[in-house]
Structure 1
């Protein structure tokens, strides 16, 4: 990523980028045969997520099929972004997959920066994101995303709840949408569950109140994924939640918040845009980041 603003950006801790790998003699388990397709693919093209506006909901599927090969989809632009080919980073020798049978806590042994979603094609780095060359972000820089009154309590919680590292990437697209993706690595999934900075009660710097994303709720309960199961079955229960600002509080910009829990990692995804944050690219960004963490 292009170098971004480096002011006041020290790593959260001197902890290594990834947890120590298990004993080298440990055999890396094969991915379960029934692993959901939403998390199984190792590579995706820019066309991996297929979105179509249908009434009040947004339907999508994961796969390599061309849009013209899928019934009910037109060939006109549906607003999704063109992402580069995605690939999960290599694991250390002997390290299990996050969903491996002998990885009960779903620990991610890959470098955290390798799990960050890349920016879509044509996007420019967002200078407002305070990350260093290695994409490391300090706790204080991360907390600037939140309302000032709540930062001290959040910081205290992070200090006592096992935070090991924060990495981030930010970009701005041609339509003015600003995206910040943060990955927070904790010592275990139990600490992730204790994190209070990504839920419906979250007060962001530009959005003091949030509501559930109604389009996402519709997708989870009614739209099938490529394996025929509802999307709510392919995303972990309680692990993915999307929120939006009901009415812009600061001027005419809207903010949306995506929250992903995956083992020892918490993803915080923020999108802000003048007028309204578009539904399709917001959902697309969340789904693709989910895949990289799966």
Structure 2
């Protein structure tokens, strides 16, 4: 049995390449072609491009987050060209009690709005005369039911008293041109109770319970705001008979435990105030979403 002779000498390094050190006890690698390393200027260029991609990616993410945050806090787009919109004050979501989740957080299974319901009401626009009886405070089931036909009021009040209603907040105002607007927010013990009352008013399957003085409302075909606020539903109606004497528009917003009713009446006008009505519906929806 022959014994191993002295290890063969390592092949000479190529010109300009340092020799690779071999740790003691580490088997020597078989001789073969040596990979040519890219010039350092190439590596520097690759590093610069990688850094640039990361920077642009971070900027894009920040911009998207900023836009999403803007939709959930300050509501923009109020100081635009004169297209008939009303001038509302800056809208900011109210602070929540410490430790309380927002209505559509995964842990809030009942979809409860923990903020003060009165602070979720849209404020009156600039130039409006506020209804002193509906100035943004609490109101009664009877006052809410007065928006509907006289034959339906008793049933609506009874249904509210049996449906785990917690509060009703309301605000009303009249614009200089005589247009009247009223907004009601009804908060129940859970989203299930709010949805049951919504269904009891026949909302979604039709124009809902008839409003005072109105025998026929139809779906507003010009409404384009559906689906813009996640986890909420909006049902928008308009007066079918545009006879020039009075025009009525109504909208319901279903947002978790809260159902909103928005009513807009104008005397002797056609459809020229459609824009501010839709604007009011969108902003109230955003406050609840």
Task: Please tell me whether the aligned partners of residues 123 and 173 of structure 1 are also in contact (alpha carbons under 8 angstroms).
Answer: yes
1:225 matched residue in structure 2: none
Aligned to 2:152: 150
The one of 215, 236, 246 aligned to 1:242:
236
- Taking CA–CA contacts closer than 8 Å with sequence separation of 6 or more, which of the two structures ends up with the larger relative contact order? 1
Determine if contact 1:38/1:291 at 8 Å carries over to the other structure.
no
The Cα of 1:234 is off from its aligned counterpart by 2.4
How big is each residue's C-alpha offset from its partner over 1:118-157, in whole Å with a ceiling of 9 and x where there is no partner? Answer: 0111111135xx44x6611111111111100011111121
Aligned partners of 1:201 and 1:209 also within 8 Å: no
RMSD: 2.5
Kindly indicate whether the alpha-carbon contact (under 8 Å) linking 1:163 and 1:186 is maintained by their aligned counterparts in 2: yes
- Pair 1:237–1:206, CA change in 2 (3 A): farther
8 Å Cα contact 1:181-1:268 kept in structure 2: yes
Query: Structure 2 length as normaliser, TM-score?
Result: 0.69
Equivalence map 1:119-268=2 (5 Å): 119-127=124-132, 130-131=133-134, 135-195=137-197, 196-197=200-201, 199=203, 200-216=207-223, 219-220=224-225, 232-236=226-230, 239-247=233-241, 252-268=245-261
2:107 matches 1:102? yes
How far apart, in 2, do the equivalents of 1:38 and 1:202 lie? 36
| Matched positions, count | 219
Deviations 1:77-108 (A, max 9, x none): 21001110111111001000112121122210
Moved more, 277-286 or 233-242: 233-242
Structure ID, larger Rg: 2
Deviations 1:258-277 (A, max 9, x none): 10000100000000001235
TM-score by length of 1: 0.68
**Structure 1 gap ranges (5+):** 1-32, 49-65, 68-74, 221-231
SS of residue paired to 1:270: strand
Distance 1:78 1:141 in 2: 33
Give the direction of change, closer, same or farther, for the CA distance of 1:158–1:35 in structure 2 (3 Å limit). farther
Determine helix, strand or coil for the equivalent of 2:138. Answer: coil
Secondary structure of the residue that 1:215 maps to in structure 2? coil
* 8 Å Cα contact 1:98-1:107 kept in structure 2: yes
Structure with greater helix percent: 2
Unaligned runs of 5+ in 2: 1-63
